[in-house]
Structures are given as C-alpha cells and as structure tokens.
Chain A
Amino acid sequence: MPMNASASRRQDLLKIDAASETERIVAGIREVVVSRFHRKGAVVGVSGGIDSAVVAFLCARALGPERVLVLFTPEADSSPESLRLGKLVAEKLGAPSQLENITPLLQAAGCYERRDAAIRRLVPEYTARHKCKIVLPNLLSSDRYPIFHLVVQAPDGNTKHVRLTAETYLGILAATNLKQRTRKLIEYYYGDLKHYVVAGTPNRLEYDQGFFVKYGDGAADLKPIAHLYKSQVYQLAAFLEVPQEIQSRVPTTDTYSLEQSQEEFYFSLSLEKMDLCLYGKNQGMPAAEIAPMVGLPERQVERVYALIDGKRNAARYLHSSPVLMEPIDLPLVQD
C-alpha cells in the first residue's frame, strides 16, 4: 500500500464526529450526576494534560462551569508547567478552582523517604538531590520481557541506567503510588464537601492497559472518556477549544522527578502508534493490515499485540472490585 494511502486510512480509522460525540458524553454525564447519583456537580483533578482538560470541559458543558471544581494537586516532583497549564483550564472555563499542594501529606506518609530508600538498595549514592524515573527498554526488536529500568541522574547531570530488582521495583511503585492515592483522597474530600461526583480522566489506552493506580487515579464515580482512544481525545479537545498550549503539550506522566514520557511506558511506541495498534487489535485486524499504517514491520505489530495481551492480563487485578465469597443481592429501591 502506498504511504499516502496508509496515512489517509490511518486518519480515517480513529476519526470521530466530535460534535455528536461531545453531545453523547454530555448527556451521559448529566444522567449519571443528576439522575443516578443525585449530586450537584463534579470535581475534576486537572493535571495540565490533555485528558483531564477534556474531562473538565465536558463536565462544564454538561453541568455548567459553576458546578465544576477544578482541583490542582501538585507535589514536590510535579513540573511547575503542569500547574500553569491547569490554571488555564479553569480560567478558560470560568470554573472555580482549588489548589492543594499535597507535598506535606506525602512527606507525612513517607512517600519520598520510602522511594529514596528503595532506590538506594540499587544505587547507594542516591540522595534527595538526585532525580529519577523508571522506563521500559525498547521491546519491539526482540521478545524481551517488559522489565523496568531505573534511570538516576546525579546533581552533576551524569545518568545511570540500572535494571530493577523485584524488591526495588515494588518499593518504588508502592511509594510513588501514594501520590495518586493522596490526590484521590483530596478529590473525594471536595466531592464530599460539595456533594459532587469525582470524575476520572483515563483515556481508552490507559483504561484498557491498566496504566493507573488502583484506588488512586483509577478511582472515580464516572470516567467520561475511558472509551476514547488518545487521538480521539485530541479531536474532542480541538472541538471543545481546549487551550492550544495543552493540545500541543507532549504528554508526560509527571510522577517522577526526571521527566518521563508516556512513550517510555507504552512499549517504546508513540501514543499515535499505540492507539492504532490497540484499535487494530480490538477490531480483529491482522498485524499485516495495520502494520503499514503504523509504519512498523508486521513482526513488530505482532509483538505489540502480544504485549497488549500481557498488560490486559495484569490489569485484571487493577480493574477488579473487591471479591465477595458469595453474591449479595441488593435490590434497588426507586426513589
């Protein structure tokens, strides 16, 4: 297939009617907030990224901007740019906002100390002045297991890559997951205070592949864009006139002190390519069909398909509600 035809088909695959999709989601938000949960508005934790901005815009359209609380929860490792961009969302919407720096809560919970202690098991010279992130190596060129590596940057700029051990990986993960769970704690504080729902902000890629923290950013009363691929979220952002700076910002997880691109989490693929692979897999498209559109050899698309399956298996635990030993029937009473 010629490249231009591939590019054209690539754009068509994930193309949505942004106006009608917006109306559908807006109607859904109203139904959930008002009719099902009888709440008065929505709390949206806004990170400065595209997903949370789109959710805030959708909630404002559904409920009115005065019934959306835009919440900023930066911490010591957050980029100042994230807060600046987040504030643009509240300003553009004319929605009330609240700033809660969660660093003291995280310090009290030992988040940073516990993380640093875990890192020092592998990198003894690590101090609070070092920076770090965890990344996946390129997994497409071989059948290598998806094993995370730790990247540490010394104050003089020198970086070190180390393969993680299970003990260190779990130590870092457990400590950094306190960030997402603390954010959710604050979101639900405001949800209770104002009798609002808490809106979650995962896109389809994150929801499907389990790129969230259980009872952290995975917790919410509704997830208005969980069915949308990342490139569809961008289409909605353009339609909703989300500030251009947010639309053009390179996605980041904003969790580690060293900037970690989302691509370093997604099998070394760009989000656009990851979107296409996930779509192709969901539609039952053979790797050979999607490969020219993604611009990868068929073998590598097959590899991505296998990695998607692996992540889905791991995500089953993340999606699972508490398991009961026997079903309990709770009849709904109409009010």
Chain B
Amino acid sequence: MPDFENEIRTFIVDNFLMGRGDALRRDDSFLEKGIFDSTGILELVSFIENKYSIELEPDELVPENLDSIALLARFLEHKLLLRNPVSELIGSPSSGRSSL
C-alpha cells in the first residue's frame, strides 16, 4: 500500500504552500485553512487520479473525503482496497512500497 499521507503531504506542500508546510497537520481542513481554492481542488483531483490510476466519481468529490491529509489518505485506502485485493497491493510494483 502506498504511503498516502506522505505522498499527499508532499503534493500539497510543493503545489500550494511553496514548500513551506511545517505547520500543516494531518487533520487540518484544507478549506478552513484556505490552503487552496476551487482550482486547487481540480489540481488535487487530477493528482489523485493520475498518481493512483483511479477515477473519482461525482459523489466522492466531497470534503468528508478530500478535506485533509488524513481524510484523503483514509478515503484512498478504502477506494484502492475496493478496487484491488489486499494481496495485490502488498509489495505491488506499481506502489513501489510495501508499507502494509
């Protein structure tokens, strides 16, 4: 299973915080912190879809899935588990990691 939290954090910090993400906590709300606007959400969605080769459904584009590093990581874990059996994710070459 990929290290979702770390990968999301890196993307957020590099793309929206100009590399200055020391204060960003895993439970911080992107909306409340004003980390990005509606264009930023499009960027985040594109990043997720390209990075993990998944397609997000319209009903999934809600803050309860995407509004913090922790929420997003948990959402992706469920989403990818539904798509792939756990055995395929462990040590999967596409993930490049074996963190489970």
Q: A145 contacts B59, CB within 8 Å?
A: no
Q: What residues of B have a CB within 8 angstroms of the CB of A285 in the complex?
A: none
Supposing A146-B38, A147-B38, A314-B37 touch, asked if A166 and B43 sit within 8 A by C-beta, the answer is yes
A142 at the interface (CB under 8 A from B): yes
User: What CA separation (Å) do A309 and B16 show in the bound complex?
Assistant: 21
**0/1 string, A134-173, CB within 8 A of B gives 1:** 0001000011111110000000000000011111011000
Q: Which residue in B37, B58, B66 is a CB contact (below 8 Å) of A137? A: B58
**0/1 string, B16-60, CB within 8 A of A gives 1:** 000000000000000100100111111101100000000000110
A127 at the interface (CB under 8 A from B): no
Q: What residues of B have a CB within 8 angstroms of the CB of A270 in the complex?
A: none
CB distance from A118 to the nearest CB of B (A): 13
B64 at the interface (CB under 8 A from A): yes
User: What CA separation (Å) do A128 and B36 show in the bound complex?
Assistant: 34
Q: B34 contacts A166, CB within 8 Å?
A: no
CB distance from B64 to the nearest CB of A (A): 7
User: What CA separation (Å) do A148 and B34 show in the bound complex?
Assistant: 19
Q: B59 contacts A166, CB within 8 Å?
A: no
User: What CA separation (Å) do A247 and B46 show in the bound complex?
Assistant: 42
Q: B34 contacts A313, CB within 8 Å?
A: yes
How many B residues are at the interface, by size bracket?
10 to 19
Interface SS of chain A: loop
Q: What residues of A have a CB within 8 angstroms of the CB of B81 in the complex?
A: none
CB distance from A216 to the nearest CB of B (A): 18
Interface SS of chain B: helix
User: What CA separation (Å) do A167 and B42 show in the bound complex?
Assistant: 9
Q: What residues of B have a CB within 8 angstroms of the CB of A137 in the complex?
A: 58
B96 at the interface (CB under 8 A from A): no
Q: B43 contacts A147, CB within 8 Å?
A: no
Q: What residues of B have a CB within 8 angstroms of the CB of A163 in the complex?
A: 45, 58
User: What CA separation (Å) do A8 and B45 show in the bound complex?
Assistant: 44
CB distance from B79 to the nearest CB of A (A): 17
Supposing A143-B63, A313-B34 touch, asked if A169 and B39 sit within 8 A by C-beta, the answer is yes
User: What CA separation (Å) do A166 and B64 show in the bound complex?
Assistant: 21
Q: A144 contacts B38, CB within 8 Å?
A: no
Supposing A143-B64, A314-B38 touch, asked if A165 and B46 sit within 8 A by C-beta, the answer is yes
User: What CA separation (Å) do A283 and B21 show in the bound complex?
Assistant: 38
Rank and list the top 10 A-B pairs by shortest CB-CB distance, nearest first: A166-B42, A166-B43, A143-B62, A165-B46, A145-B41, A145-B61, A314-B37, A144-B61, A144-B62, A146-B38
Seen from chain B, the residues whose Cβ lies within 8 Å of a Cβ on chain A are 31, 34, 37-43, 45-46, 58-59, 61-64, 66
Beyond the given A165-B45, A166-B39, please list 19 additional residue pairs across the A-B interface where CB-CB is below 8 A.
A137-B58, A143-B62, A143-B63, A144-B59, A144-B62, A145-B41, A145-B63, A145-B66, A147-B38, A147-B41, A147-B42, A147-B45, A147-B61, A148-B38, A165-B42, A166-B42, A169-B42, A170-B39, A314-B38
